[in-house]
Amino acid sequence: MEAATTITRSQPKLHSLVHFEIPASDPTKVSRFYEQFFGWKFAKWGDQDYWLISHKDAQENDTMGGLFKRNSPNEGFLNYFSVSSVEASVAKATSLGAQVVTPKQEIPTIGYYAVLKDPDGNNFALFQSTGRM
């Protein structure tokens, strides 16, 4: 029996953009647009309607974003920023006027995230990497 392989990634630079998500009413049409426009690559991830996005020159497992089936008409792009602690960052952000949209959630073997709304109503996400995938 073969042992499971875990790939360790370096930690992302703190407070930098590390991932983005694009909601799409028609994921096939939207992925085709970005494939033709930027040369991006799309790969289905898991059983849900979610596709990982890679740069055309990216190595295997080197993703920069995701595309998913839109859940509501007002859903827009969502940017994820790297933090060392989701809990501490949520506490600081809310003390500065942000509101929690989605509390801390786990992405198994990847890390943790939370979605917030800044004081002007813009959604953004915090991401804490576990360094594994």
29's enclosing H/E stretch is helix 27-38
Q: How does pLDDT run across 54-67, given as a tens digit for each residue?
A: 998 988 888 999 99
pLDDT of residue 24: 95
The predicted model scores a pTM of 0.80
Q: How does pLDDT run across 97-114, given as a tens digit for each residue?
A: 999 999 999 999 899 999
For 1-133, list the strands marked E by DSSP. 17-24, 41-44, 50-54, 65-69, 78-82, 99-107, 111-117, 123-129
Q: What is the CATH number assigned to the segment(s) 17-129?
A: 3.10.180.10
pLDDT of residue 132: 60
pLDDT of residue 59: 86
- On the question of pLDDT at 2 being above 50, the answer is no
**What confidence tier does 13 reach under pLDDT thresholds 50, 70, 90?**
confident
- Report DSSP state, residue 2: P
- On the question of pLDDT at 15 being above 70, the answer is yes
Q: Which residues contact 14 (CB under 8 A, 6 or more apart)?
A: 82, 83, 84
